[in-house]
Amino acid sequence: MSDITTITAAIGGVKTALDIVKTLYDLDVATQQAELRAKLVELREALTDAKGALIDSQELLREKDSEIARLHGALAFKGKLVRHVNAYYETNEEGEPAGIAYCPRCEDVDHRAIPMIKNGNRTMCCPECKTAIPFQRTPEERRKEGR
């Protein structure tokens, strides 16, 4: 259920409860006690439904807050990554791609930095999407190897 739907349900429940309260105010004192009890049962049900819808809304908002926080973190990290040949890397002090390779597909499509795993000496593979790319060395690695 979307948060708009649950909030709409909560508003509907509160409106029903307020209508019932108005009816109770308008009841003639001489009215039968049974009618009063029936209206109180309706009131309790309307408030219970509204409470449930508000709890659902609260949970959905928490999930959205969590996703927003994750995306903020991903965006901040994305700003640190640079593309080098077929993958993304963080940069060293010289601004060169360095360290572990991140999956290009997961970064470009899902905005998630997923470290690639070396698959033998020739390829690297993403554990999430299974994208495989030829193994490549960063400029820093080539320098350390004297190439």
**Please, are residues 20 and 43 in contact by the beta-carbon 8 Å criterion?**
yes
Neighbours of 124 (CB within 10 A): 21
Minimum distance between the CB of residue 108 and Zn ion, rounded to whole angstroms? Answer: 9
**Please, are residues 131 and 123 in contact by the beta-carbon 8 Å criterion?**
no
3-state secondary structure of 84: strand
Residue 146: both structure tokens together:
């004297």
Closer CB to Zn ion, residue 130 or residue 147? 130
Minimum distance between the CB of residue 93 and Zn ion, rounded to whole angstroms? Answer: 28
Minimum distance between the CB of residue 75 and Zn ion, rounded to whole angstroms? Answer: 18
Closer CB to Zn ion, residue 53 or residue 113? 113
Summarize as ranges the residues that interact with Zn ion (CB under 5 A): 103, 105-106, 114, 126, 128-129, 131
Closer CB to Zn ion, residue 51 or residue 111? 111
Minimum distance between the CB of residue 116 and Zn ion, rounded to whole angstroms? Answer: 8
Closer CB to Zn ion, residue 73 or residue 127? 127
Distance CA 17, CA 23 (A): 10
Q: Which residue type sits at 42?
A: E
Distance CA 100, CA 123 (A): 14
